[in-house]
Amino acid sequence: MFNSAEKFEAGYRVQVATTPEFPQIGEPSQFKVKVTKGFDYEDVERFTMGIRVFFNDQQVDTIPIESVEGSHWDFDYVWRNPGNHIVKIDLYDIGENQETHTYTFNMGTQNPFGIIFILSITIGASCLATVVGYIYYPRILKKFKI
């Protein structure tokens, strides 16, 4: 997935992702968080987490502290600004000392140039496939003719 990341700190690995991979502005998307423990990446039984979202060095949103049963937390989120966001995930009461650790991620949203980028790559790949097919398809047909 393009819009996903993971960090390992204090014996815990936090993974984040969005669905769709490039969220649209003003439309609901799924924000996914997974927390595992140790180098064997064992799922945790529960965790407590809060999220802060920054855009242009300004905090634009906060997801209140939530206690989650299991190792996955999926929730709906609406992105309001196009571009890159810094997402800070605070994992509370972890480790032997019950400390709070902050994991920082860079998450992006879809902007108009993203669609242009995807379309240009698709058109370029289609043109390449057409040229390669035009060159090699007649040779393949000649081999099968008697």
Condensed to tens digits (0 to 9), the pLDDT of residues 21-42 reads 778 888 899 989 999 988 888 8
Query: DSSP for 75-118?
Result: EEEE--SSSEEEEEEEEEEETTTTEEEEEEEEEE---HHHHHHH
pLDDT digits (tens, 9 = 90+) for 55-66: 999 999 999 998
Q: Return the CATH fold of 4-109.
A: Immunoglobulin-like (2.60.40)
Which sequence spans correspond to the domains of the chain? 4-109, 111-146
Q: Cα(118)–Cα(133) distance, rounded to whole angstroms?
A: 22
129 or 146, greater pLDDT: 129
pLDDT digits (tens, 9 = 90+) for 97-143: 788 889 999 888 865 566 777 888 999 999 999 999 888 888 877 77
pLDDT digits (tens, 9 = 90+) for 48-99: 999 999 999 999 999 999 899 988 999 999 988 888 889 999 998 776 778 8
Task: Specify the pTM.
Answer: 0.70
Res. 1 pLDDT band, cuts 50 70 90: very low
